[in-house]
């Protein structure tokens, strides 16, 4: 065996041990031994993954079979977001919330709660317009104002440099110019791999069947929900139970560690 091969084996063993230790630590943090839990944490570096979600872009995140990323748009909305948070907490699951700036400004305590409970905070514009249907300068202002409002709710200071450089376009409606600007700033754009279609009127049971069927068909991926929808909040405990009973694993996406420079919007 060569010296190089020996080094590779040592690195692989160390990597496996690190994953095992991480999983054990996460399991110990959850008071319910039978909870779904968060299987692993995935650091999403915008330099490597500037745009993800196969419904909009060529690539998604590097997920294994039966791995699911939970994302929620359009909050916070106290009557429903609090129910979603309770369901996630009961199963010791972490998700990513893409916030509307004006809602964050109206409910800063709830924004702080989302972050305090370990979820990632992404950005979703100030007022949820279709950014493809307004001029470029207005679209940039919507993005900046939304980020600043989210940062103000979280930290008491307005900044157009997001602490978590994740953005999702309202309606997934982008332009090449806007995508280029966000990439130049080091902000990852999230699409989705599939969704619950919860913008349509349906019962919680109907939504549960729809999204469960889509999970089984896709096998893995980034799911889009809306934490502002009553039927989504109502069905979330049952959906998480479905994932647990069918051996799906939750992946929590987080930003790179501090130290990377995110450029301001030109």
Give the separation between CA 100 and CA 103, rounded to whole angstroms.
Answer: 5
Q: Does the annotation count 226 as an active-site position?
A: yes
Listed in sequence order, the residues at least 6 apart from 64 whose beta carbon sits closer than 8 Å to its beta carbon are 220, 249
CB 182 within 8 A of CB 189: yes
Catalytic pick from 73, 74, 150, 227? Answer: 73
Beta strands (DSSP E) in the chain are: 38-43, 51-52, 67-73, 96-99, 120-123, 166-167, 188-190, 194-195, 221-226, 249-254
Catalytic pick from 128, 226, 227, 252? Answer: 226
Which has the closest alpha carbon to 245: 97, 66, 124? 66
Neighbours of 18 (CB within 10 A): 10
Q: Does the annotation count 73 as an active-site position?
A: yes
Q: Which positions are annotated as active-site residues?
A: 73, 226
């Amino acid at each position: 065996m060569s010296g190089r091969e020996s080094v590779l084996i040592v690195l692989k063993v160390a990597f496996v041990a690190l994953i095992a230790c991480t999983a054990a630590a996460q399991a110990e943090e959850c008071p319910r031994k039978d909870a779904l839990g968060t299987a692993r944490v995935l650091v999403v570096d915008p330099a490597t993954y500037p745009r993800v979600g196969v419904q909009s872009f060529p690539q998604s995140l590097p997920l294994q079979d039966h791995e699911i990323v939970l994302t929620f748009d359009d909050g916070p909305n106290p009557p429903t977001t609090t129910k979603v948070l309770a369901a996630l907490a009961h199963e010791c699951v972490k998700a990513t919330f893409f916030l509307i700036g004006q809602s964050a400004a109206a409910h800063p305590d709830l924004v702080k709660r989302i972050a305090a409970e370990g979820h990632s905070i992404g950005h979703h514009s100030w007022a949820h317009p279709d950014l493809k249907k307004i001029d470029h300068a207005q679209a940039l202002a919507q993005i900046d104002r939304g980020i600043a409002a989210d940062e103000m709710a979280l930290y008491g200071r307005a900044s157009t440099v997001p602490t978590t450089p994740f953005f999702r376009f309202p309606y997934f409606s982008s332009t090449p110019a806007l995508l280029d600007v966000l990439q130049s700033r080091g902000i990852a754009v999230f699409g989705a791999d599939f969704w619950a279609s919860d913008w349509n009127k349906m019962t919680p049971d109907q939504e549960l069947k729809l999204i469960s069927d889509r999970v089984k068909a896709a096998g893995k991926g980034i799911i889009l929900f809306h934490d502002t929808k009553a039927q989504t909040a109502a069905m979330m405990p049952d959906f998480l139970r479905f994932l647990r009973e069918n051996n799906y694993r939750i992946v929590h996406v987080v930003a790179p560690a501090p130290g990377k420079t995110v450029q301001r919007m030109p």
